[in-house]
Amino acid sequence: MENISTPDELKKAIQLLEEEKSVHFQEMRTNFSLSCESLNPASIVKSTMKEISSSPYLLNNIFNVAIGLVAGYLSKKAMLAGRSDKKSRRLLGLILQLGVTNLIVYAPNAINSFVRHLFSKKDINYDNP
């Protein structure tokens, strides 16, 4: 800074500093409001949902988990078609549900290839037994 020698220069320097202070204060208020908005729970959920929808790998994992849970639940219900009071049958149904769920969640490619193989059209040659 320059040396201030007159009262007019002092007033100008004070005015410049006050303007600079108001600019910094306005920037600080803007940054504070942006920070408060980003910490809003609705904004956090919204940004998380955007992130999930933009990631195909994560979306695929969520889909596989949901399919696994539904398949496990349906397999347990199919086994226990009638209401059973036997604890051993309930335990077996629970184990079956856990097994099917884990199989579908942790090995989706194996399930996918098995289903494709199951439904693929094969050329059956009836001439050669």
From residue 29, give the alpha-carbon distance in Å to each of 17, 18, 43, 127.
18, 16, 19, 85
Return the minimum-mean-pLDDT range out of 69-73, 79-83, 88-92.
79-83
Three-class HEC string of 6-20: CHHHHHHHHHHHHHH
For 10-37, write each residue's pLDDT tens digit.
999 999 999 999 999 999 999 999 998 8
For 31-71, write each residue's pLDDT tens digit.
999 998 888 888 888 888 888 778 777 777 777 778 777 87
Q: Taking the model in full, what pTM does it have?
A: 0.40
CB 59 within 8 A of CB 52: yes
Distance, in Å, from the CA atom of 117 to the CA atom of 50, rounded to the nearest integer, reads: 36
Virtual CA dihedral for 41, 42, 48, 53, nearest 10 degrees? 170
Chain Cα centroid distance, residue 60: 10
Question: Which DSSP state fits 3?
Answer: P
Question: Which DSSP state fits 80?
Answer: T
